[in-house]
Structure 1
């Protein structure tokens, strides 16, 4: 039975739905459309647009791994405030961040589309700059997405940078400080576990970010986004199932995961690709002090990794009851 949205739905809520719809569209199809436009223009009288862009793109090719090119105008766009209010999304501060320091943050969980990470760290919809004065936010994204013409410029506008060591080193080595580089630790593979009530994180063997923090002496900041996994339902793909085997294979080949998720539609609430209206509370934890070690041993990496997991668990336990997580629910790691 399809449940349709009432005709009396306020205009404000319709604008919120539109804001979310365009964002989902940008991740599902915009990169391919941009590529199609770039190629298509070559066969029209406007061919010079693609040629000029290609030349500029060549000289600008290293920008995504050298801090990107964020735009305050894009970050402050009104459309992101409508998107924030759709869920709504909240940024929760638990400690100060010293603007003279650089920080490496781990974001958990990935969710299907990392909605909380985008709104809180790539836009000003939740007033990040006012909440953490003097801190510039960067969010890592798969390098693959920066290979699409036009689309690369769009995502850089929000402070997105490539997810490689060179990119991280460029930001974390800035002596003036004031930089927060966030990595969604579970990555695309963790998206396959994103469903309501799931609190399993892909973290047990993810230690590259720990070594980065040690090499650059960047304080570690755990971030947990409550509600991130509740935005979509997902087709059952338990470990060992045929579907999960196929998804894992595709993830290894393509570098991106393909979760079979579903939410609601634009004019009905039963099915579609629009996320459900469920609140997100992104809690930024207390920084973990890290001593700079240029060549950390495996023992030092493991020790800091265990401390990070402990602090992340403490953050989750301290806030879970506020955000409707059952008392007997705890984080699981694999």
Structure 2
């Protein structure tokens, strides 16, 4: 019988990352708690924030400032420099951003991230927890495709889920990221945590030829704007059926993931006319402003929890050209699975999530 498991990264000894992988696994098993049902998880326990030293908070905040503030600032900075500073200053600033865009960045450093201090501090900053149903463990070695959300302003939960999936659940996991991420100053460095281009060919190659499970933030750019809709939780997947279609074509199971806390740690600032959303979709990159802690482009310390629900198990048979009806049927299962997972876990997170509803939108 499947049970629910909860791993709170605060229970992992700080020096655990220095141990051999086999010894780390033993520690993870010891600190993981099991519950018969989601109702048995203490209410509000997943939304608890841990204490953290000021200097450690500053270090993590500076890292987030580098990956989030630099892409937010380079257009205004170049514009203002061109208007008010000598030409040489503008050329120098442009050269600086060009270097940040062009200097080679390692594409896959999952092992280094897992064993590094920075990731542990990121977990600590976000009081990061992983919750999953034990039934997914039997499928760990089978390549699958993941539907995760919400995206929010920045999919911080998704980024941290890549090393977490690899380390805590022993899944050969990578995350699909928009192409623009790998060429955006500052932001592109995050691709080394285990990101691949979210394009169809890249995802298929990772699954079919490399035997990896690929997670996709299913609401994408639309999810950036959906987060500004109101007080509920919004998942913009109503008309996004690409994951369902690919699962049918490749005969894959679909893993369903929800990142609690991801949509509230940064607040989007968008126009009420939908112009920025339309422009973002046209350019395939998010264009808007946002604020976070102290009104800066730094995430607040709202706890982030990755919840992995029951996988959608298809027949395993490949459907080369799935019909619209087949795709719609699987997509309906995906939507229902997302809503069930959210409803099952929101009480355990508690706080601002206890009264929220998951709204599926486009």
TM-score, structure 2 normalization: 0.70
CA RMSD of aligned residues (A): 3.1
Task: Determine whether 1:215 maps to 2:243.
Answer: no
Q: Which residue of 2 aligns with 1:4?
A: none
Give the Cα separation in 1 of the matches to 2:93 and 2:311.
Answer: 39
Q: Which residue of 2 aligns with 1:13?
A: 54
Alpha-carbon distance, 1:117 to partner: 0.8
Tell whether the 8 Å contact from 1:189 to 1:256 is kept in structure 2 after alignment: no
- Range 111-120 or range 25-34, more displaced: 25-34
Verify: 1:281 aligned to 2:305, yes or no.
yes
Tell which deviates more after alignment, 101-110 or 287-296.
287-296
Aligned to 2:129: 90
Q: Does 1:205 align with 2:239?
A: yes
Aligned positions of 1:61-210 closer than 5 A: 69-95=108-134, 96-97=136-137, 98-121=139-162, 123=163, 127-133=164-170, 135-147=171-183, 154-174=189-209, 177=211, 179-195=212-228, 197-210=231-244
Q: What per-residue deviation string (whole Å, max 9, x for no partner) do you get for residues 38-85 of structure 1?
A: 8569xxxxxxxx8xx7xxx7xx9xxx9xxx533411343211211211
SS in 1 for 2:293: coil
Q: CA deviation at 1:144?
A: 2.0
Q: Structure 1 residue 233 and structure 2 residue 292: aligned?
A: no
Residues 149, 330 of structure 1: CA spacing in aligned structure 2 closer, same or farther, 3 A cutoff?
closer
Cα separation, 1, equivalents of 2:99 and 2:284: 27
Structure 1 residues 291-302: aligned runs within 5 Å = 291=315, 292-302=318-328
User: TM-score, normalising length from structure 1?
Assistant: 0.75
Q: Secondary structure at the match of 2:215?
A: strand
Deviation at 1:20, TM superposition (A): 3.3
In 1: Cα distance, 2:325 partner to 2:52 partner = 57
* Partner secondary structure for residue 144 of structure 2: strand
Contact 2:113 2:119 in 1 (8 A): no
**2-structure distance, mates of 1:234, 1:155:** 20
1:232 CA drift (Å): 2.4
- Report the Cα offset of residue 200 of structure 1: 1.8
Specify the alignment match of 2:314 in structure 1: 290
Report the 3-state secondary structure (helix = DSSP H, G, I; strand = E; otherwise coil) of the residue aligned with 1:182.
strand
**In 2 relative to 1, CA 145–280 (structure 1 residues): closer, same or farther, beyond 3 Å?**
closer
Instruction: Please list the CA deviations of residues 104-157 of structure 1 after superposition, one character each: whole Å capped at 9, or x if unmatched.
Output: 001110011111111121x3xxx4334312x111111111233469975x3442
Q: In the superposition, relative to structure 1, how do residues 149 and 314 fare at CA in structure 2: closer, same or farther (>3 Å)?
A: closer
- Pair 1:264–1:213, CA change in 2 (3 A): same
Residue 231 (structure 1) shift: 0.7
- What residue ranges of structure 1 are gaps of 5+ in the alignment? 1-9, 42-49, 266-270
Aligned position for 1:332: 360
Query: 8 Å contact 2:66–2:186 — kept in the other structure?
Result: no
Equivalent position to 1:247, from 273, 276, 279: 276
Greater share of residues in helix:
2
